[in-house]
Chains A and B, each alone.
Chain A
Amino acid sequence: MQLTAEREHYLNASYGLKSWLLTKDHKRIGLLYLFTITLFFFIGGAFATLIRLELLTPQGDLVSDDVYNRLFTMHAIAMIFFFMIPSIPAVLGNFFLPIMIGARDLAFPRINLLSWYLLVAGGAFALFAMIAGGVDTGWTFYTPYSTTYANGWVIATALGIFIAGFSSILTGLNFIVTVHRMRAPGMTWFRMPLFVWANYATSLIQILGTPVLAVTIVLLFVERVFHLGIFDPARGGDPVLFQHLFWFYSHPAVYIMVLPGMGVISEVISTFSRKPVFGYAFVAFSSVAIAVLGFLVWGHHLFVSTQSAFAGLVFSFLSYFVAIPSAIKVFNWTATLYKGSISFETPMLYAFGFIGLFTIGGLTGLFLAALGIDIHVTDTYFVVAHFHYVMVGGTIMAFLAGMHFWWPKITGRMYPEGWAKLSALIVFVGFNLTFFPQFILGYMGMPRRYHAYPPEFQVLNVLSTAGASVLAIGYLMPMVYFTWSLKYGKVAGANPWGATGLEWKTASPPPVHNFDETPIVTHDAYDYSTVHGEEIQVG
C-alpha cells in the first residue's frame, strides 16, 4: 500500500471530461451521482427556504397562492425523486458496495452509467418543468386534480419522474445481481457488511415497487393527454384507485430512502465503538424484513380517503409490523455502544443524531398509523413534521455521516474535524428548531399545503422559519469545507479510522479496479482484531 503521489488511482487514471462522461468505473459514476444530487438538494433547499419565508407571516404576502403551491410541489419532487432516492444508494452504494464485497466493479457497468444518464435526463425534464412555470399538484399527483384541473407542467414533471424511476430500477437490478454473483472468495452472506445488506434490501424495493409508480404515471399521462378515463370520476372511475397505486410505490419508497441510511449508521457505529454491531444477523435480517413488510402497509396514507373502514383496519394493523424491525435496529445500535471504545468523530456525531431523530420520527409514525389519531392529524403539519424527522433528521444525517466517514477513502484527504463537528451541531439544533414546532402546529390543526393560515399559528411558524435558516447554514458549511479539503486537507492513509471493511484494505483513493489483488475473506464482518495494531491514529 504505497502512498506516493504518483500512485495510479481511479481519479488520476485518465483525465478530461470524456473520461468521466463515458466512464464505466462505479466509483466515478458514484461521484457523477454526487454532483447531480447535490445540485437537486440545493434546488430543493432553495424552494424550502422560500416556503419557510412565506410562512413567516399568516397572510400570503411573499408569493401568490399559485406560486406557493408550485414551491412545495417542486420542493418535494426535487428532494424525493432527484435527491433522496438516489442519494445514499447511488452515491455511496455505487462507490462502496462493490469494494465492500471485494468485486472489481458492479455486474453491469454500462447499465450503471446508463442509469446515471437516465437520472440526468429525468432531472432535465423536471428542471425544465420548474423553469417553464412549475407544477402545482403536490408531489402526490392526486387525481382528478392532476389529470383534469391542474394547469402546470404536469406531464413534463411526470415524465421526468418516470425516467428517473428507470434509473432507480436499473441501480437496484445491478446491485442485486452484484451481491448475488460477484462476491469475493470467502465473502459469505453473513460476512457481508451491514451496509451491503441494507442496500440489497433497498434494491429489492426499487425493483418491485418502482414499476408500479411507472405504470401509475403512464396511466396519469394517458388520462391527461389522450383523455382515457381510468381514474375519471365523471365516467365512473375511482380517484382512490390512483392513490392505491401511487402509495403502493411511495410507501415502500420511504424505506428506499431510509434503509441505506441505516446501513451507513451500522458501519459508523461499529467503527467508532470498535465493536461488531450487536446482533449482526438481526440487524441484517431486519433490513430485509422492513423491505418486505413495507409493501403491506401503503393504505395507511388513505385512512380518510373513503377507503373502506375494513381496509383501514388491515393497513393500520400491518403498519405496526414494520415498527418492530426498526425497533430492533435502534436497540441493537444502542447496545453496540455497551463496553465499546467510543470516539466522537463527526460521523459518529451524525450517527447519534440519526438514532435520536429517527426514533422520534419513527415513533410519531406510530401515531399516524393509529386510525383514531390519524383522522385528526392527517394532512396537517404533524405529518410534515413526521416525515421531515425521518427523512431530514434520519436520512440526511446518515448521508452526512457516510460522506464524512468515507470522504478520506473517496478523495484521499481528511476533512477539517473541528468545522465538521461544529456544522453537525448546527444541523442538529437547526433541525429540531425547524420541525419540532410543526408537531404542535399539526395537532393544533394547521393543515399542510396552506399558503396562508390563521394568526394563532404564527408563533410556532416563526420558530420553524428561524430554525430553517440555522439549518441552511449547517448544510452550507460542509459544502465549503469539503471543497476546501480537496486541496488543503490532510492526506489520509488507507484506514484512518481503524475500520474493518474491505474498502479500508485498499488504498485511498482506491485503484481503478479497486484491489491490486482480489481479496480473500477469512473473517466475519467487523472483526477488529484484524486491524488492531495497524495504523490506528485518530485525530
Chain B
Amino acid sequence: MQDEIDSPQHHVDSAGTYVAVLVTLLFLTILTTAVAYVDLGYFSTVIALGIACTKMLLVALFFMHIRHSTKLTKLVVVGGLLWLAILLLLTLTDFATRTWIGVPGR
C-alpha cells in the first residue's frame, strides 16, 4: 500500500514555459544587481532577499516540477524550510538578546 500517488510527472511542460521562466530569472538577476547600488536603507536587504526567494520559487515550481508533484513532496519541502527557520531563529534568540539584562556574559 502506498500513499496517494496522483501520478506525478506525467505532465510534460512546454519548452516555451521553460524559456519564459528562464527569461524572468535572468531579468530578476539583473534587477537585483542594479538595485543593490541604490540606497534604500533597511529595504535593500529585504528586496535582495525577496528577489532571491522569488527566484527560488520559480526554479522550484517550474524547473523542479513542484507544481505537479505529490502532496508529500510539497510537505517535504515546506518541512525542510521550517527546520531551516528553527535553526536560524532559535540561534538568534541567543545572539539577538545578549545585552538584554546588561550583565556581561549573561
Q: Do A and B come from one complex?
A: yes
Which A residues contact B (CB, under 8 angstroms)? 180-188, 208, 212, 238, 240-241, 244-245, 248, 295-296, 298-299, 302, 306-311, 314-315
Interchain residue pairs with CB less than 8 A apart (11): A180-B3, A180-B72, A181-B2, A181-B3, A238-B95, A296-B86, A306-B105, A308-B100, A308-B106, A309-B100, A309-B101
Whether B90 pairs with A299 at a CB distance below 8 angstroms is yes
> Which residue of A212, A307, A315 contacts B87 across the interface (Cβ within 8 Å)?
A212
Whether B3 pairs with A310 at a CB distance below 8 angstroms is no
Whether A180 pairs with B2 at a CB distance below 8 angstroms is yes
CB A184 to nearest CB in B, in angstroms, measures: 6
Whether B1 pairs with A185 at a CB distance below 8 angstroms is yes
For A302, give the chain B residue with the smallest CB separation.
Answer: B94
> Which residue of A295, A306, A308, A315 contacts B86 across the interface (Cβ within 8 Å)?
A295
CB B98 to nearest CB in A, in angstroms, measures: 5
Most buried by A among B1, B3, B86: B1
CB within 8 Å for A188 and B106 given contacts A248-B87, A296-B86: no
- CA A240 – CA B98 in complex, angstroms? 12
- CA A240 – CA B97 in complex, angstroms? 14
Instruction: Report chain B residues within 8 Å CB of A238.
Output: 95
B83 within 8 A of A: yes
B93 within 8 A of A: yes
> Which residue of A188, A298, A299, A314 contacts B1 across the interface (Cβ within 8 Å)?
A188
Nearest 8 interchain pairs by C-beta: A311-B94, A310-B97, A306-B105, A308-B97, A311-B93, A308-B98, A309-B106, A183-B1
- CA A130 – CA B65 in complex, angstroms? 47
Instruction: Report chain A residues within 8 Å CB of B100.
Output: 308-310
> Which residue of B1, B87, B95, B98 contacts A187 across the interface (Cβ within 8 Å)?
B1
Interface class of chain A by DSSP? helix
B91 within 8 A of A: yes
Q: A187-B1, A299-B93 are in contact. List 16 more A-B contacts (CB 8 A).
A: A180-B2, A182-B2, A183-B1, A208-B83, A244-B94, A295-B86, A296-B90, A308-B100, A309-B97, A309-B100, A309-B103, A309-B106, A310-B100, A311-B94, A311-B97, A314-B90
CB within 8 Å for A240 and B1 given contacts A208-B83, A306-B105: no
CB A243 to nearest CB in B, in angstroms, measures: 10
Instruction: Report chain A residues within 8 Å CB of B98.
Output: 308
For B83, give the chain A residue with the smallest CB separation.
Answer: A208
CB B57 to nearest CB in A, in angstroms, measures: 22
- CA A298 – CA B90 in complex, angstroms? 9
Instruction: Report chain A residues within 8 Å CB of B94.
Output: 240, 244, 299, 302, 307-308, 311
> Which residue of B1, B86, B93, B103 contacts A184 across the interface (Cβ within 8 Å)?
B1
CB B99 to nearest CB in A, in angstroms, measures: 8
Instruction: Report chain B residues within 8 Å CB of A180.
Output: 2-3, 72
- CA A188 – CA B5 in complex, angstroms? 15
CB B60 to nearest CB in A, in angstroms, measures: 19
For A248, give the chain B residue with the smallest CB separation.
Answer: B87
